[in-house]
């Protein structure tokens, strides 16, 4: 028996360390930009602990909410009467939103 065991050349395990980006990013659901997490406010209820929208979007949205349409505080009837007193003639079309709780019917 000629016992020459062929040694298999064992390749040294390559240790490839992929560099982990220090700054993690997140895609903003508001503007669609991928921004560093520092641009997102923390939010305990979300999965990753950050808001879905970046700080900029949030600021824009909250400022838009406070300076919303001034006509919104009037009812459709009030607006119609206002237009009538101002001499507006024509047809007005509006959509009313009804909130009906089906469990009470």
β-strand partners of 35 = 26
| Residue 28 sits in the site that holds Zn ion (CB under 5 A) | yes
If one counts every other C-beta atom within 10 angstroms of the C-beta of residue 53, the result is 19
| Residue 51 sits in the site that holds Zn ion (CB under 5 A) | no
> Can you tell me the distance from the alpha carbon of 49 to that of 40, in angstroms, rounded to the nearest whole number?
10
| Residue 25 sits in the site that holds Zn ion (CB under 5 A) | no
| Residue 30 sits in the site that holds Zn ion (CB under 5 A) | yes
Q: Which is nearer to Zn ion, 50 or 54 (CB)?
A: 54
Residues near Zn ion, by CB under 5 A: 28, 30-31, 54, 57
């Amino acid at each position: 028996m000629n016992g020459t065991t062929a040694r298999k050349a064992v390749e040294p395990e390559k240790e490839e360390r992929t560099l982990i980006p220090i700054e993690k990013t997140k895609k903003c659901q508001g503007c669609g930009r991928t921004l560093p997490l520092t641009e997102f406010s923390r939010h305990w209820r979300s999965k990753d602990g950050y808001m879905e929208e970046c700080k900029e979007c949030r600021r824009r949205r909250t400022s838009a909410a406070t300076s919303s349409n001034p006509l919104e505080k009037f009812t459709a009837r009030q607006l119609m009467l206002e237009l009538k007193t101002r001499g507006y003639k024509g047809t007005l079309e509006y959509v009313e939103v009804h909130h009906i709780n089906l469990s009470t019917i």
